[in-house]
């Protein structure tokens, strides 16, 4: 006969666990978090997970350690983030003041054909608008990874002067001081004796007009211009050196000695080089810019050299995977200065007399996040 001995050890362990648990002697490394906010009623997220609670709220049985606390309010759109540490058997109290979240909007314009038959048709602008649209659609800003709330486009014959001006008003009319508004233009630009314009399907829009209209919108205005002489919109080389020399001699002979001071007053007046604007242009005020009908390496369509380099720097050519080529410090942000240097050093532009321009210089403004 075989004798079998019962194993009482697992039962003993379970019994001991129950006794310790109910006696309060068992150690669980947990604590609590009490969260309040101004205004109240904000949703509470811990490490990106919705707790299902709104402020004010007590959250129990959190394992001790570090957490990222995020509070969000939908109406009005506000948020705040804080790193918190939960300690064993303690209640951590946190109060956050919610701040308005930036909203991002964009109006993208590309004009390839013009009503006036004397104006040469272009090839790239409609495709450049599509590339820019994809770049903006993949953008994610801030801790909440906010997307563009509105991306509108005007292409070809629909991009009349009236429609563009109206499109600016309709797209950006709800902007507040914390918001960011993007205006992109690809098409012809003219420089008529120092008066710089972008050419619409049926007319044109001057520097002064664009500065006045966009300047009246609250918040930050990001202007991207892929057009000849576009640097003139921020006062970069509106006149050629020869034109300036001749004009200086003429004014000197009529008694105006300080013609260079006069020149400075012209380039600094009524343009986009002003507070509230962030601007990047494809050329200076005396340079043309170029496109090619050669197939783009990704989509096989014609492209403007400047816009192609900008989009590549912002992830277009690598299917918007980390890291974006222009993001030199790999912080998931492409600053204005980073995208400027990326485009400026692009091999595809090295053979062209086309120098990218920015305002302001050496800016850490977050041009794009992902």
Q: How many domains does the chain contain in total?
A: 2
Q: Report yes or no on 359 lying in a domain.
A: yes
Q: Quick one: which of 330, 349, 326 has its CA closest to 338?
A: 326
Q: Report yes or no on 139 lying in a domain.
A: yes
Which pLDDT score, from 0 to 100, does residue 76 have?
A: 81
Range of the domain at 30: 25-99
Q: Report yes or no on 15 lying in a domain.
A: no
Q: Report yes or no on 18 lying in a domain.
A: no
Which pLDDT score, from 0 to 100, does residue 74 have?
A: 87
Q: Are residues 248 and 171 located together in one domain of the fold?
A: yes
Which H helix or E strand runs over 115?
none
Q: Read off the CATH number of the domain in which 89 is found.
A: 2.60.40.10
Query: Residue 162, by phi and psi: left (phi above 0), alpha (psi -120 to 50) or beta?
Result: alpha
Q: Please report how many Cα atoms fall inside a 13 Å half-sphere around the Cα of residue 357, on the Cβ side.
A: 28
Which pLDDT score, from 0 to 100, does residue 155 have?
A: 98
Which pLDDT score, from 0 to 100, does residue 244 have?
A: 40
Say if CB 94 and CB 33 are below 8 A apart: yes
Q: Are residues 95 and 110 located together in one domain of the fold?
A: no
Q: Are residues 35 and 176 located together in one domain of the fold?
A: no
Q: What is the pTM of this model?
A: 0.75
Domain boundary among 48, 73, 99: 99
Q: Are residues 69 and 204 located together in one domain of the fold?
A: no
Q: Are residues 231 and 365 located together in one domain of the fold?
A: yes
Q: What is the pLDDT along the chain (370 residues), one digit of tens a residue?
A: 555 555 555 565 666 555 555 555 556 799 999 999 999 999 999 999 999 999 999 999 999 999 999 999 988 888 899 999 999 999 999 999 998 889 999 999 999 999 999 999 999 999 999 999 999 999 999 888 999 999 999 999 999 999 999 999 999 999 999 999 999 999 999 998 889 999 999 999 999 999 999 999 999 999 999 999 999 999 998 654 444 444 444 543 444 334 333 333 344 457 999 999 999 999 999 999 999 999 999 999 999 999 999 999 999 999 999 999 999 999 999 999 999 999 999 999 999 999 999 999 999 999 999 9
Q: Read off the CATH number of the domain in which 307 is found.
A: 3.40.50.1460
Which pLDDT score, from 0 to 100, does residue 341 have?
A: 98
Cα–Cα distances (Å) from 308 to 32, 65, 313, 348, in that order, read 52, 46, 9, 9
Which pLDDT score, from 0 to 100, does residue 196 have?
A: 93
Q: Quick one: which of 22, 174, 184 has its CA closest to 109?
A: 184
Q: Report yes or no on 153 lying in a domain.
A: yes
Q: Are residues 137 and 269 located together in one domain of the fold?
A: yes
Domain boundary among 47, 66, 99: 99
Q: Are residues 93 and 117 located together in one domain of the fold?
A: no
| Pairs from 118-125 (Cβ < 8 Å, separation ≥ 24) | 119/188, 119/199, 120/188, 122/187, 122/188, 122/291, 123/291, 123/293, 123/302, 124/186, 124/291, 124/292, 124/301, 124/302, 124/303, 124/304, 124/307, 125/155, 125/186, 125/187, 125/226, 125/304
Q: Are residues 192 and 335 located together in one domain of the fold?
A: yes
Q: Report yes or no on 9 lying in a domain.
A: no
Q: Are residues 73 and 121 located together in one domain of the fold?
A: no
Domain boundary among 83, 99, 115: 99
Q: Are residues 57 and 112 located together in one domain of the fold?
A: no
Q: Are residues 203 and 283 located together in one domain of the fold?
A: yes
Q: Quick one: which of 222, 229, 165 has its CA closest to 197?
A: 229
Q: Are residues 300 and 158 located together in one domain of the fold?
A: yes
Q: Report yes or no on 55 lying in a domain.
A: yes
Q: Report yes or no on 20 lying in a domain.
A: no
């Amino acid at each position: 006969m075989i004798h079998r001995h019962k194993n009482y050890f697992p039962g003993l362990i379970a019994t001991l666990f129950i006794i310790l648990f109910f006696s309060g002697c068992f150690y669980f490394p947990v604590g609590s978090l009490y969260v309040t906010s101004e205004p109240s009623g904000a949703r509470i997220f811990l490490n990106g997970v919705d707790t299902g609670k709104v402020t004010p709220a007590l959250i129990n049985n959190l394992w001790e350690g570090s957490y990222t606390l995020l509070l969000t309010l939908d109406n009005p759109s506000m948020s705040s983030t804080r790193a918190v540490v939960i300690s064993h058997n303690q209640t951590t109290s946190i109060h956050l003041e919610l701040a308005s979240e930036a909203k991002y909007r964009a109006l993208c314009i590309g004009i390839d054909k013009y009503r006036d038959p004397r104006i040469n048709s272009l090839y790239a602008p409609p495709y450049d608008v599509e590339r820019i649209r994809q770049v903006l659609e993949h953008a994610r800003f801030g801790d909440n990874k906010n997307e563009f709330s509105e991306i509108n486009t005007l292409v070809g014959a629909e991009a009349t002067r009236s429609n563009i001006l109206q499109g600016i008003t309709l797209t950006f009319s709800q902007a507040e001081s914390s918001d960011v508004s993007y205006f992109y233009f690809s098409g012809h630009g003219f420089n008529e004796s120092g008066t710089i314009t972008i050419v619409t399907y049926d007319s044109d829009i001057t520097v002064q007009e664009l500065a006045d209209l966009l300047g009246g919108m609250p918040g930050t205005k990001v202007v991207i211009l892929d057009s000849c002489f576009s640097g003139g919109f921020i006062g970069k080389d509106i006149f050629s050196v020869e034109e300036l020399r001749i004009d200086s001699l003429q004014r000197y002979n009529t008694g105006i000695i300080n013609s260079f001071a006069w020149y400075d007053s012209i380039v600094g007046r009524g343009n986009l080089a002003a507070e509230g604007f962030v601007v990047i242009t494809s050329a200076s005020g005396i340079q043309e810019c170029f496109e090619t009908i050669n197939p783009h390496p990704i989509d096989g369509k014609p492209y403007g050299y400047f816009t192609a380099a900008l989009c590549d720097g912002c992830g277009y050519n690598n299917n918007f995977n980390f890291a974006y080529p222009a993001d030199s410090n790999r912080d998931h942000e492409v600053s204005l200065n980073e995208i400027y240097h990326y485009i400026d050093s692009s091999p595809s532009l090295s053979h062209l007399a086309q120098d990218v321009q920015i305002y302001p210089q050496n800016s850490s403004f977050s041009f794009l996040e992902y």
